[in-house]
Amino acid sequence: AQTVTQSQPEMSVQEAETVTLSCTYDTSESNYYLFWYKQPPSRQMILVIRQEAYKQQNATENRFSVNFQKAAKSFSLKISDSQLGDTAMYFCAFMNLQGAQKLVFGQGTRLTINP
Amino acid sequence: KAGVTQTPRYLIKTRGQQVTLSCSPISGHRSVSWYQQTPGQGLQFLFEYFSETQRNKGNFPGRFSGRQFSNSRSEMNVSTLELGDSALYLCASSRDGSNYGYTFGSGTRLTVV
């Protein structure tokens, strides 16, 4: 079974700083996707960024980028020029492409951006 | 384009009762998945429906069930409610249930007293 671990329960940075959230996962599969989701107080899970395991190039979406280390099974999220609106819970998630296509989530990191 | 709509947003039920939650996916999305979110267990997969068929199921007791209608709307039902069923229930839809990620609704907060 796949597992996803986020080792930082909480993080806090000043506005405009850069912050990196850590995620490691465990799987024996080779074809999978990795995601970062953001959950603000509104409760809706919002997709931030996704990475296909077969791609070596790290995904980027504006201020959000990932550092995907397949051999190390590591998938960290970097937020540049952080904004107050980035304050939220961030969840790392794994989805296998074979078998049951379900998201396996980490426990989340509560990120606070301070003015 | 309308997002994923979940109703109701809040619900309070008594132990032993049953409850039905509703999810309307994004137009054109045929896959609907349900997740339970609790402080202790985090986010856990309940089941996925695709074209009215349950395609995948998580590790939950048979009290948890669901269905999907021909218009892709989905309902999940929990019978004989227990205090531990108190949670945020999130619904997510996708076009075909795979690689582009899911669009989530804002969830239904169920409290069992």
| Candidates A35, A43, A102; nearest CB to B33 | A102
Using the predicted structure, report yes or no on whether residue B101 has a pLDDT greater than 80: no
Using the predicted structure, report yes or no on whether residue A98 has a pLDDT greater than 90: no
Asked if B45 lies within 8 A of A108 by C-beta distance, the reply is: no
Bigger pLDDT: A28 vs A11: A11
CA distance A57 to chain B (A): 17
**pLDDT at residue B78, as a whole number:** 98
Contact A76, A86 (CB under 8 A): no
Averaged pLDDT for residues B94-103: 74
Parallel, antiparallel or unpaired: strands B108-112 and B74-78: unpaired
Averaged pLDDT for residues A70-98: 95
Cβ contacts from A onto B, under 8 A: 54
**pLDDT at residue A107, as a whole number:** 96
Using the predicted structure, report yes or no on whether residue B1 has a pLDDT greater than 70: no
Confidence at A29, pLDDT banded by 50, 70, 90: confident
Bigger pLDDT: A88 vs B99: A88
Using the predicted structure, report yes or no on whether residue A31 has a pLDDT greater than 80: yes
Q: Which two tokens stand for residue A77?
A: 């999220």
Using the predicted structure, report yes or no on whether residue B100 has a pLDDT greater than 70: no
CA distance A13 to chain B (A): 24
Q: What are the backbone angles phi and psi of residue A84, rounded to the nearest 5°? A: -55, -35
**pLDDT at residue B10, as a whole number:** 97
**pLDDT at residue B95, as a whole number:** 84
Mean pLDDT for all residues in chain A = 94
C-alpha span between B46 and B53 (Å, rounded)? 14
CA distance A71 to chain B (A): 21
Using the predicted structure, report yes or no on whether residue A39 has a pLDDT greater than 70: yes
**Which pLDDT tens digit goes with each residue over B9-67?**
999 999 999 999 999 999 999 999 999 999 999 999 999 999 999 998 999 999 999 99
Chain B positions touching A43 (Cβ under 8 A) are 88, 90, 106-107, 109
Using the predicted structure, report yes or no on whether residue B97 has a pLDDT greater than 80: no
| Candidates A47, A95, A102; nearest CB to B58 | A102
**pLDDT at residue B2, as a whole number:** 76
Contact B103, B90 (CB under 8 A): no
Confidence at A110, pLDDT banded by 50, 70, 90: very high
Distances in Å between the Cα of A84 and the Cα atoms of A5, A14, A21, A76, A88 are: 25, 9, 16, 20, 9
Asked if A43 lies within 8 A of B98 by C-beta distance, the reply is: no
Give yes or no for B103 touching A (CB within 8 A).
yes
Chain B positions touching A42 (Cβ under 8 A) are 106
Asked if A43 lies within 8 A of B107 by C-beta distance, the reply is: yes
**pLDDT at residue B18, as a whole number:** 98
